[in-house]
Amino acid sequence: MNGRTGRTAGALRLRGDDDGFTLVEVIVALLVLSIVATASLYFFVGGSRSVSSQQRQQSGVAVANRAMEDVYSLVARASATGTSGLVVGRKQSDVTTAWNAAVTEGTPGLGDSYPAWDKATSPLPAAGVGDDKIKLTQTVDESGIRYTVRTLVGFCYRAKATPAAQCTRTGGDAAGVSTTGYMQLMRAYVTVSWADTTGTCKASTCRYDIASLVDPSNDLKWNNTTRLLAVDDSVSVDADDVIEIDVLDNDTIMAITTNPVSIVSNPVLAGTSTPAGTATVDTSTGRVVYDPSDDAWGEVTFTYRVTIAARTAQAVVHAYVNPMARPLTGNAYPGQAVAIPVTTMWGAAASGLAVVQPATGGSVVASGSSFTYTAPASTGTYTFRYTFTQGAYTSTIGTGTVVVAAPIPPVAGNRTFETDAVITPADVPLPLQTANGNAANYRVRIMSLPSAGTLRLDGNNAAVNGVGSAVAFRPPAQTAGVYTFTYQVAPPAPSTTWSATATATILVQPKAADDPQTTVSKNQSNRMLQVGANDGSVAGTTLEIVSSPGPACITIASNQGTSWASGNVQYSAPNKTGTCSFTYRLNPIDNRLRQSATVTAYVKVN
C-alpha cells in the first residue's frame, strides 16, 4: 500500500501541465478584481444618486404644476374694488416681502410685472396666508421630501393690436391703470424649492420655477343659437320686499341689442285670479321687477314673453312669497295681562305664532291666534318681534308695540238710560264705563239689583258683588217703569281701586203701535176690543182715547174700568155695519216717563 501511494505522489509531481497560479499571478488577479469592483460600486452609487435626484425633480415639477392649476381654477376677473380673484386675502406687506425675496433669489421674469395684492377695505385682508384664496407660501410633503411652494401674482400690460407681444410693465402703471391701446393681464409665478441632499444642485437648495399669463377678460359669448326657448323661473321673496328677476338667464336666445322681454299676464295667486302685486320690465336690462302686494303669500305666478325679430317664446315665473307680518299695538296697565290678537294682511286669524325676540319689558307668550302680554310694574313703551306660519311659509318678522301706562282713577256717577217697552224683551247694553269717562276695559261691580227686570253681567244674570265688564238690563215684558241699581267702577285687574258707589236708572218708556182692522159684530153692548196685544207696554200705563170713532160705527165707553189692564177697550156696536177708526196713546203711571206716540186702531162692524 505504501508503494502505491508513493508512486501516485510521484506521478502528481511530474505532471507540468497541472501546475497552479504563482503567487504573483494571484496578487495581480486580486488587484484587477478590486479595481473592477470599485469601479462598479462608483457607477452604482452615482446612478442611484442620479435616479434619486431625478425623482425629486419630477416631484417638484408635479408640485409646481398643481400650484399653477390652483391659479387656473379661480376667476381672474377684478371685482368692484379692483381686486383680482387670484389675490383675494393677500396683504400688501406680505406680498412685498415675498416679492423682494424672490427678486433676491433670482426668480426670472419678475421685472416684467407689478406685484398684485388684495385692495379690499371690507373685509381687510389679514396678515399671513389664513385668508388667501391662493396661499402665498406653503409646504407640501411628497415622497418623504418637504417642498416649499411660493406663488406670486402680478400684472403686466400688452398692446391690444399685437397679441403676440411680450407682456411687460410698459402700457400702464403700478396702480393697475392701463394706457389707451393696452390691456392688463395677470401673471403667476410658482417657485418650488427643496433641500439638496444629493449634491446635484448648484447650491444647497434645489428650485423649479414656472410662470404663466392669465387673461382676466370676460369670456367671449358665442352665438350659435337657432331656436328661441324661454324656460320657467322660480324665485323666493318676502311680501314686503321687491325682487329683480333675470328671466333671460336660463333662456336660450339669439344675440340681442335691445330688451326683448314683455309681461303677458300680471301676478296672481297660483290657481286663482286674485291679484298678488305688480310685475314690470326694466327695459335697460331685460330683467323683471316683481313687487308683491302686502297681502300676497304662497305661490304667485305670472307670464312673460321674449320677442326677438319674428320669433317669440313665453314662460311662467313662479314666485314663492313669504307673508308679511303686520305691526301689532296694544295698551296695558302695570302688571296687567292683555290679549293682542294677530290677523294676517288678508284679514284671517294668524296661526303658528312664534316670539323671535322677547319683549323689552314684561313678557309675551303665544296662545292660538293671539299673544298674551303681561306688563311689567313700570310704565313705558315696550316691543317684541314675532312671526307666524301660513301653510309651509313663514312670515316676515313683525313688531308688536305695547304702551304701559298707569290707569286713570275710576269715576262712577249717577247715570240714566232709556229704552222702549217691548213685547219680547232683550238685553239693553248699559255702557257704565264709557258713560262716566272711563276706558271701555274698566270693570263694574254690582252693589244692588233693580226691583224688577233682569240685570245682566257678561251675559249672565247679575248678583250683588258680581264683577264684570259688559252690563245690560232686560226689562219686564210689556211694562213701562223706572228701575234702579247701584254699582262701582275699577280699572282692569290687578288694580283694586274702586270708585264710589253710584246709581244707574233705566227708564222703560211706554210704547204703542197701530192696530190693523178688527172685525166686530153689530148690535153688541159692553164688548172688549183687544188693542194692547201689539203694544210694547200695557202694565205701568193708562189708556187715553185721543179721538173717538163716532156713533155711526162703535161707541167707546167713557169709563173703561179695569179693561186696559188686559189691553182691552170697552165698546158698544150699533145695529148696522160700517168701518171706522179711533186714536189713542198710553200715559205712564210714573211721571218720570213720557207719553207714548198717538196710534190708530181700525174697526169694521159686520
Each residue's pLDDT tens digit, 3-22: 444 444 444 444 455 567 78
**What confidence score (pLDDT) does residue 2 get?**
43
Span between the terminal Cα atoms of the chain, in Å: 194
Which residue from 503, 497, 583 is spatially nearest to 548, judged by alpha carbons? 583
Distance between CA 82 and CA 88 in Å, rounded?
11
Q: Over the chain, what is the mean pLDDT?
A: 91
What b-and-e string marks burial along 338-369, b requiring 16 or more CB atoms within 10 Å of the CB? bebebebbeeeebeebebeeebebbebebeeb
Identify whether the C-beta of residue 41 lies closer than 8 Å to the C-beta of residue 33.
no
Identify whether the C-beta of residue 291 lies closer than 8 Å to the C-beta of residue 242.
yes
Provide DSSP, 78-146: B-TTS-BTTSTT--HHHHHHHHHHHHHHT-TTGGGSEE------SSPPPSSSTT-SS-SEEEEEETTEE
| Least confident segment among 54-58, 311-315, 465-469, 481-485 | 54-58
pLDDT exceeds 50 at position 1 = no
pLDDT exceeds 50 at position 179 = yes
Distance between CA 54 and CA 100 in Å, rounded?
30
- Domains, the chain, ordered by start: 55-171+180-214 (no CATH), 233-322 (2.60.40.10), 341-404 (no CATH), 415-509 (2.60.40), 518-605 (2.60.40)
**What confidence score (pLDDT) does residue 94 get?**
93
Q: Which residues contact 345 (CB under 8 A, 6 or more apart)?
A: 239, 294, 295, 297, 323, 324, 326
Q: What is the DSSP letter of 478?
A: T
Top pLDDT among 72 and 265 is at 265
Distance between CA 605 and CA 219 in Å, rounded?
110
Coil, helix or strand at residue 274: coil
Q: Residue 101 — pLDDT band, cuts 50, 70, 90? A: very high
Top pLDDT among 488 and 253 is at 488
Model-wide pTM > 0.75: no
Q: What is the DSSP letter of 302?
A: E
| Least confident segment among 38-47, 364-373, 388-397 | 38-47
Distance between CA 540 and CA 41 in Å, rounded?
143
pLDDT exceeds 90 at position 139 = yes
